């Protein structure tokens, strides 16, 4: 029998499941380019909703590193970032607890038969540590997820999810039954580029501003009832 699910939910991580915190990137960038943490200068734009590698290069340049050296540092950054996250496991649990409703929403969607994964700008090693902090079981299928280590351009990541879904489940991903849940305008644009549905939660950006980017729905929080009803409605319409 062919695989059949209720739909696919693709979660963003930082700003959606857990609060965003640039301390990990700051530490890893400082170590990669031999800067003091206080000298790491993030660009005003192209941080939230972008991939780690993209942020690293832009931040290194904004911090005074030559473009060629910034690019060369990317090869070192992955190993450095993995170490930073591993050493910061306990700290992360304290400073970035999941938003209210995260575990309950994921559990409820899992019970209804939704396949759930992540699409995140985090490198896989960083994403694994952050997701582990949520204390979830097997509700998230991380094998079909897409990460900043798969492509520097976030807009290439939906194709990674689609390919891995096909490889694992043996059927094509149905775009109209696939929903991104994010918190930033770039999450909406990324979903739209793949023909997917887009739901955003107003954790960092106001509901009014997010609505201006044309998502299918804007949520004020991840209250499980609202999350489930919104996603179920969107996927049934597809």
CATH number at residue 127: 3.40.50.1000
Domain enclosing residue 213, as ranges: 8-20+97-237
What is the edge-to-edge ordering of all strands in the sheet holding 178-182?
A: 115-118, 8-11, 178-182, 197-201, 217-219
Out of 76, 94, 112, a domain closes at 94
Q: Which residues pair with 10 in a beta bridge?
A: 117, 180
Question: 128 and 197 share a domain?
Answer: yes
Kindly state whether residues 134 and 182 are assigned to the same domain: yes
- Does 16 share its domain with 55? no
- Using DSSP's 3-state secondary structure scheme, residue 179 falls into strand
Same-domain check for residues 31 and 136: no
Q: Domain for residue 49, yes or no?
A: yes
Helices (H), 88-223: 89-95, 102-111, 124-132, 157-169, 185-193, 207-211
Residues 179, 24: Cα–Cα separation, whole Å: 28
On whether both 111 and 175 belong to a single domain, the answer is: yes
Whether 88 and 113 share a structural domain: no
Q: What is the pLDDT of residue 5?
A: 84
Query: Is 16 part of a structural domain of the chain?
Result: yes
Task: Tell me the pTM.
Answer: 0.94
Phi, psi of 182 (to 5 degrees): -135, -165
Same domain, yes or no: 209 and 166: yes
The predicted structure's pLDDT at residue 22: 93
Domain finish residue from 94, 118, 145: 94
Residue 164 included in any domain: yes
Residue 1: inside a domain, yes or no?
no
Task: Give the number of domains in the chain.
Answer: 2
Give the end of a domain, one of 94, 123, 141. Answer: 94
Predicted local confidence at residue 238, as pLDDT: 62
| Predicted local distance difference test score (pLDDT) of residue 1 | 44
For the chain of 238 residues, list the mean pLDDT of each consecutive stretch of 10: 81 95 96 97 79 94 97 96 96 94 96 97 95 86 96 96 97 97 96 98 96 98 98 88
**121 touches 94 (CB < 8 A):** no
Instruction: List residues bridging with 199 in a β-sheet.
Output: 181, 217
How far apart are the C-alpha atoms of 154 and 169, rounded to whole Å? 23
Helix (H, G, I), strand (E, B) or coil at 44: coil
32 & 82 share domain: yes
Nearest to 215 by CA among 178, 177, 187, 194: 187
Please tell me whether residues 180 and 81 are part of one structural domain.
Answer: no
Q: Tokens for 49?
A: 């909703």
**Same domain, yes or no: 137 and 200:** yes
Do 172 and 151 share a structural domain? yes
pLDDT value for 33: 98
**DSSP-assigned beta bridge partners for residue 180:** 10, 198
């Amino acid at each position: 029998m062919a695989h059949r699910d209720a739909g696919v939910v693709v979660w963003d991580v930082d700003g959606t499941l857990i609060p965003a915190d640039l301390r990990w990137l700051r530490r890893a960038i400082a170590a990669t380019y031999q800067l003091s943490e206080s000298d790491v200068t993030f660009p005003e734009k192209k941080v939230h909703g972008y991939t780690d590698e993209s942020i690293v290069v832009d931040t290194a340049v904004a911090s005074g590193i030559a473009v060629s050296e910034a690019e060369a540092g990317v090869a070192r950054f992955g190993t450095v970032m993995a170490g930073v996250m591993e050493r910061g496991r306990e700290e992360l649990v304290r400073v970035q607890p999941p938003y209210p409703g995260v575990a309950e929403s994921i559990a409820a969607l899992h019970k209804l038969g939704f396949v759930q994964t992540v699409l995140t700008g985090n490198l896989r090693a960083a994403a694994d540590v952050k997701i582990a902090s949520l204390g979830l079981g097997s509700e998230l299928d991380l094998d079909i997820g897409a990460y900043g280590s798969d492509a520097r351009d976030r807009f290439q990541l939906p194709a990674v999810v689609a390919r891995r879904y096909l490889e694992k489940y043996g059927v094509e991903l149905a775009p109209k039954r696939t929903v991104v849940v994010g918190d930033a305008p770039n999450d909406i644009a990324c979903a739209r580029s793949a023909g997917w549905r887009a739901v955003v939660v107003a954790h960092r950006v106001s509901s009014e501003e997010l609505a201006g980017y044309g998502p299918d729905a804007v949520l004020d929080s991840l209250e499980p009832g609202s999350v489930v009803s919104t996603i179920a409605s969107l996927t049934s319409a597809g």
